[in-house]
Structure 1
Amino acid sequence: MEHIKSALKKAGVTDGEGLEPAIAPPRSEKAFPLPVRKVETDESSNTPAKKPLRQVNIDLKHLERKRIVSKSMDDPNHIAFNLLRTRVRQAMADNKWKSLAITSPTPACGKTMVTLNLAFSLSRNPGLKTVVVDLDLRRPSIAPTLNIEPDRSIAQFLLGRADDPRDCFVQADPNLFLGLNSGHTPASSELLQSPKMLDLFNFVEKELSPEVILFDLPPMKSSDDALGFLPRVDTSLLVVASGTTTTKEVDECEIQISELDKLLGIVLNKCEDAQTEDYYY
């Protein structure tokens, strides 16, 4: 922890200490596998009956205002997310991991911004199909950040108010698919651990066939949602905000995730450079 605390001390964390964003060494243990269920088929063709996902056009200027810079790549800060992409992809490939959760100690650390920038950066690779799933059911941010109105929300599907999970997903790029949410769902922890989550996993795994799945989870200190869901994924990133997140908050969250053996690394966000960059990883 000493080398970690020394790095965030330079970044100006509120109590004068902090953590260095670092990718943790690979581990040999495997996560709980994504469950697979039988997919209903069309009897006439003996193939899964599918309807196309809704395709959406995203305003690049709107993305830049929201600091989603990995889509257009006009902002030089996109390089930081390319570097993060390379390190994350290498670690996941080395360990044959597919699912990555992204969370933070508290709100306003920028976890959704990091999730979307990483997703756009990953999906630019030919053949690297990427799926983002917004599982912050209490305060969903993917759809509002991208200015997309979902047909149905993942919360509605988990509550049994939407029959087809396809209605919760859109295609934003040839290699990028987004699972959207809207509104506020109080019983979020129970839903994230409900049997309907298995159906959602099965749809993502079998119908979308991604190489990488990113889950945008709620902040860890806001509820038990993230801790309850983390055992379902291969690994995770913890996003902390320079000048906002305290060392105590980082320590507590790091210990909790490490006890589950799910910590890939820590991302330091909102760290201002003396030159042009507003944040780095």
Structure 2
Amino acid sequence: MEKLQAALARAREKREGGSPSRPAQGQAHTRVKSRQLQRSEALSSVWQGVPAAEPSTRRMQQSRIFAASASAEAASFDILRTKLLLEMRRNDWTRIAVTSATAGSGKTTMACNLIAGLGRQPEVRGMLFDMDFRRPSVAKFFGLSPNSNFADFLEEKVSFEDQALRLDQNTIVCGQSRPVRDPAQLVTRARTAEALDEIQAEYMPDIMLFDLPPVLVSDEARAFLKLMDAAIIVAAAEQSTVSQIDECEREVAGYTNVAGIVLNKCRHLSEGYGYSY
């Protein structure tokens, strides 16, 4: 919050120092627009403080991250992104968990495509956090090599900027390059909830995505869901069973809202599906 306040002060000084006096009529409206511009400039300054990264295009293709650019392959992810943003605005949500019943459903691929797609929506600021501390893979999917890990930040070993990487002007990824020995202990600490509140207050993202471990195979997912506004459940076609999905949905609903269930790995689509309808 201190950095945001300092950025606001710098933006205010910059505008007041170079702005000519305005007529009395419409001054209130002008002041409102000026404050909004200062706020936007201050936020941009804070986000620019996060080191920029250059994701590996080849690695993203291998990881099936297609949403970074408009294409037929990105169409499904674009639809999901838009529907999710509309639902979030309707319910005033910010924190969205992406999880699944069991491993191998493609939840990380889904989360990475969502944040990549948000990079093409410059008016929306988004963050992706790798909270699958047993099997972290977000940084690997993008081909990134962060200097530190998100767990290091939660343990107060490094600052937020030391471990975060900015993919675009409006998207940030907090990755994890190694497993955490006791993820449940880390997730349930009071400091973890406080740290997320501080990030949200300082960076004011429109959407915070969290790649969580599968619900039915880990206890830390349940502990973390209570800090979320809603969750997306990813199911794999011909892999996830109806009973697994039902059980996962009941578990998630016990801690937060269920934003929806996404069917992944579906190979039997009609020929007309996509941009050409």
Q: Which one of the candidate residues 66, 73, 77 is aligned to 1:81?
A: 77
Residues 273 and 141 of structure 1: CA distance in aligned 2, closer, same or farther (over 3 Å): same
The Cα shift of 1:197 comes to 1.2
**How far apart in 2 are the matches of 1:254 and 1:134?**
21
The alignment of Structure 1 onto Structure 2 pairs a total of residues equal to 239
Q: Percent identity?
A: 28
- Show CA shifts across 1:79-117 (max 9, x none): 111111111111110111111000011111100110011
Could you tell me how far apart the structure 1 residues matched to 2:224 and 2:51 are?
27
- 1:145 partnered with 2:141: yes
Question: How many Å separate the matches in 1 of 2:135 and 2:189?
Answer: 19
Task: Please give the TM-score of this superposition, normalised by the length of structure 1.
Answer: 0.77
**Pairwise CA distance, 1:189:** 1.2
Normalized per residue, the structure richer in helix is 2
* 2:232 counterpart residue number: 237
Q: 1:24 corresponds to which residue? A: none
Partner of 1:220: 215
1:17-48 residue CA offsets vs partner (Å, 9 max, x unmatched): xxxxxxxxxxxxxxxxxxxxx648999x9889
Deviations along 1:102-156, one digit per CA (max 9) or x if unpaired, are 0011111100110011112233223100011111111111101111111111112
Match of 1:186 among 164, 181, 189: 181
Larger Rg: 1 or 2? Answer: 2
| 2:130 maps to 1:134 | yes
Distance 2:197 2:151 in 1: 16
Aligned runs of 1:51-66 on 2, under 5 Å? 52-66=49-63
* Counterpart-to-counterpart distance in 1, 2:267 and 2:100: 19
Q: Normalised by the size of structure 2, how large is the TM-score?
A: 0.78
Q: 150-159 or 225-234, which moves further after superposition?
A: 150-159
Equivalent runs, 1:70-109 vs 2, <5 Å: 70-74=67-71, 76-109=72-105
CA RMSD of aligned residues (A): 2.7
**1:116 and 2:115 matched:** no
Distance 1:137 1:122 in 2: 24
Matching residue within 246, 250, 254 for 1:259: 254
Aligned to 1:69: 66
Structure 2 residue matching 1:200: 3-state secondary structure = helix
Quote the Cα distance in structure 2 between the aligned partners of 1:68 and 1:232. 27
Task: State the secondary structure of the residue aligned to 1:183.
Answer: coil
CA distance in 1 between partners of 2:271 and 2:127 (Å): 31
Structure scoring higher RCO (CA < 8 A, sep ≥ 6) equals 1
Question: Once structures 1 and 2 are overlaid, which stretch shifts more, 120-129 or 143-152?
Answer: 120-129
Q: Which runs of 5+ in 1 are unaligned?
A: 1-37
1:8-27 equivalences in 2 (<5 Å): none
Structure 1 runs of 4+ with >3 Å offset: 38-43, 45-51, 274-279
Q: Shift in Å at residue 226 of structure 1?
A: 1.1
Matched position secondary structure for 2:266: coil
